[in-house]
């Protein structure tokens, strides 16, 4: 019985990708890991050090050193930009498509017609730029936190409308539009007016709700992410289900990936709780693929809070040591990220960075797995590990992994 565990430290990049000067000049010089270590030169992360974080980073910064026993590499983002949703779809084996970019104003007519046809009460609010106000409790417009033009938000007061209704509205919007993501979410607000009070415009093209300012995250927050062009049948959970291997998703990955045959621990943010669940699931009997997302590092990046980011990394590190302590011979651990979010770069958005790829199991022989071209190589390796059919995208690196006592690769 074997476990394949992927821990995604959300946004923990190790340096800007080569295409950044052409595609995202605001990310030139980004290095989330390097700049945090530079800011806190005495910071020690013993488990990540042992796993080869400094090897993957490619240079020494601060007190941490390369590991002589590490199995490490890097992975590039095949998806455009640096997006948690598409990053996780890519990890799970989806071949990313170029995202469509457009402001909500270009589709507002079609969305309004579809909602009215489904008997929702719909108003337009605003002058030159407008958003939709549905049933006096739901605002539909541009997402102002992600890369502008790639995501539409449905923001709701869950004291005035049920989350099931919000999800239904989201599904109507999803059918009308082709942007990469539609996010339907809400929180329990004292008044729906809080949503309208948090309306903002950007670049003269985009209008939406500033979700943190509206207070939707503070109480009773619920969310569903609806992606475009994401086919769950070609992803790791389905391929493993076909060979009777269960998938367990923990943290934000459970909110954004489809896992109908497995177990999904959704709406979790607290790092310690997420790692406790991961530890518990690893110790259950049976073959299992576990993918865990640590979101609080990303939230610290968005807040440009270097100290909070470093403190969360220490919590992750302590729990990685606990995890490695209970994993059995033949189990495999992969620690990685999905993009960057450099808190020192001068803006609060994700940064387009290569990510570390750190692999561990008992008795594993140190080797470099190289500079992988896509995050999907991790999903392909997980399928290979369990002798399942490959997902749509990615190349397995399982053949590079050998253990001391047998010399055989895993699987």
DSSP result, 359-389: EE-TTBPPEEEEEES-THHHHHHHHHHTTPP
Q: Let me know whether 267 and 393 are in one domain.
A: yes
Which residue do the tokens 């992994």 mark?
401
Q: Let me know whether 75 and 115 are in one domain.
A: no
DSSP H helices, 52-145, are 53-57, 84-91, 108-117
Domain finish residue from 193, 227, 261: 227
Q: Is residue 197 part of a domain?
A: yes
Which residue do the tokens 């020494």 mark?
60
The residue ranges of the chain whose pLDDT is under 70 are 1, 405-411
CA 320: distance to chain centroid?
18
Domain finish residue from 167, 202, 227: 227
Q: Let me know whether 168 and 239 are in one domain.
A: no
**What is the 3-state secondary structure of the chain?**
CCEEEEEEECCCCCCECCCHHHHCHHHCCCCHHHHHHHHCCCCCCHHHHHHCHHHHHCCCCCCCCCCCCCEEEEECCCCCCCCHHHHHHHHCCCCCCCCCCCCHHHCHHHHHHHHHHCCCCEEEECCCCCEEEECCCEEEEECCCCCCCCEEEEEEECCCCCHHHHHHHHHHHHHHCCCCEEEEEEECCCCCHHHHHCEEEECCCEEEECHHHHCCCCCCCEEEEEECCCCHHHCHHHHHHCCCCEEEEECHHHHHCCCCCCEEECCCCCHHHHHHHHHHHHCCCCCEEEEEEECHHHHHHHCCCHHHHHHHHHHHHHHHHHHHHHCCCCCEEEEECCCECCCCCCCCCCECECEEEEEECCCECCEEEEEECCCHHHHHHHHHHCCCCCCCCCCCCHHHCEECCCCCECC
For residues 91 and 391, is the Cβ–Cβ distance under 8 A?
A: no
Instruction: Give, in order, the Cα–Cα distances in Å from 273 to each of 12, 88, 292, 314.
Output: 20, 20, 11, 15
Q: Let me know whether 238 and 377 are in one domain.
A: yes
Which residue do the tokens 């800007």 mark?
16
Q: Let me know whether 112 and 170 are in one domain.
A: yes
Instruction: Give, in order, the Cα–Cα distances in Å from 372 to each of 334, 351, 377.
Output: 14, 18, 7
Q: Let me know whether 123 and 183 are in one domain.
A: yes
Q: Is residue 408 part of a domain?
A: no
Domain finish residue from 227, 254, 272: 227
Q: Let me know whether 238 and 223 are in one domain.
A: no
The CATH number of residue 60's host domain is 3.40.720.10
Q: Let me know whether 190 and 276 are in one domain.
A: no
**Which pLDDT belongs to residue 1?**
67
Q: Is residue 411 part of a domain?
A: no
Q: Is residue 409 part of a domain?
A: no
Residue burial 274-293, b: 16+ Cβ < 10 Å; e: rest: bbebbbebbeeeeebbbbbb
Q: Let me know whether 264 and 299 are in one domain.
A: yes
Q: Could you tell me the residue range of the domain that residue 168 belongs to?
A: 104-227
Q: For residue 316, give every residue at least 6 positions away whose Cβ sits within 8 Å of its Cβ, in sequence order, or none.
A: 7, 9, 48, 271, 275, 294, 297
Count of structural domains within the chain: 2
Which residue do the tokens 């010399």 mark?
407
**Which pLDDT belongs to residue 407?**
46
* pLDDT per position as a tens digit, 212-243: 899 998 899 888 888 877 889 999 999 999 99
Q: Let me know whether 136 and 190 are in one domain.
A: yes
Q: Let me know whether 222 and 234 are in one domain.
A: no
Q: Let me know whether 182 and 243 are in one domain.
A: no
Cα 316 from Cα 296, distance rounded (Å): 10
């Amino acid at each position: 019985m074997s476990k394949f565990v992927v821990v995604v430290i959300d946004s923990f990049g190790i340096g800007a990708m080569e295409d950044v000067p052409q595609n995202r000049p605001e990310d030139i010089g980004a290095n989330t890991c390097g700049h945090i270590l530079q800011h806190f030169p005495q910071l020690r992360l013993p488990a990540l050090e042992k796993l080869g974080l400094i090897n993957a980073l490619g240079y020494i910064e601060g007190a941490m050193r390369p590991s002589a026993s590490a199995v490490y590499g890097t992975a590039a983002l095949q998806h455009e930009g640096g997006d948690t949703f598409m990053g996780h779809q890519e990890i799970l084996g989806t071949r990313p498509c170029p995202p469509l970019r457009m402001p909500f104003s270009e589709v507002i007519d079609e969305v309004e017609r579809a909602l009215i046809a489904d008997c929702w009460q719909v108003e337009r609010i605003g002058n030159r730029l407008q958003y939709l106000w549905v049933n006096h409790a739901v605002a539909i417009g541009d997402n102002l936190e992600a890369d502008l033009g790639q995501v539409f938000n449905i923001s709701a007061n869950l004291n005035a409308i049920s989350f099931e209704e919000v999800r239904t509205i989201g599904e109507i919007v999803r059918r009308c539009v082709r942007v990469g993501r539609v996010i339907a979410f809400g929180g329990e607000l004292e008044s729906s007016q809080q949503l309208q009070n948090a309306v903002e415009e950007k670049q003269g093209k985009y209008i939406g709700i500033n979700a943190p300012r509206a207070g939707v995250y503070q109480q009773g927050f619920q969310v569903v992410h609806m992606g475009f062009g994401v086919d769950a049948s070609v992803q790791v959970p389905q391929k493993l289900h076909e060979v009777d291997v269960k998938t367990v998703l923990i943290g934000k990955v459970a909110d954004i990936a489809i896992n109908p045959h497995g177990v999904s621990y959704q709406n979790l943010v607290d790092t310690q709780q997420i790692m406790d669940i991961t530890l518990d699931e690893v110790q259950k009997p049976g073959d299992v693929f576990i993918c865990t997302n640590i979101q609080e590092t990303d939230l610290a990046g968005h807040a440009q809070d270097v100290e909070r980011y470093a403190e969360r990394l220490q919590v992750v590190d302590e729990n990685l040591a606990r995890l490695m302590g209970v994993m059995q011979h033949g189990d495999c651990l992969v620690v990685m990220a999905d993009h960057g979010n450099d808190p020192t770069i001068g803006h609060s958005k994700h940064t387009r960075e290569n990510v570390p790829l750190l692999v561990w199991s008992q008795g594993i022989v140190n080797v470099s797995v190289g500079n992988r071209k896509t995050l999907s190589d991790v999903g392909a390796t997980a399928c290979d590990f369990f002798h399942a059919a490959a997902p749509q995208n990615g190349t397995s690196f399982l053949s590079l992994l050998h253990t001391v006592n047998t010399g055989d690769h895993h699987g």
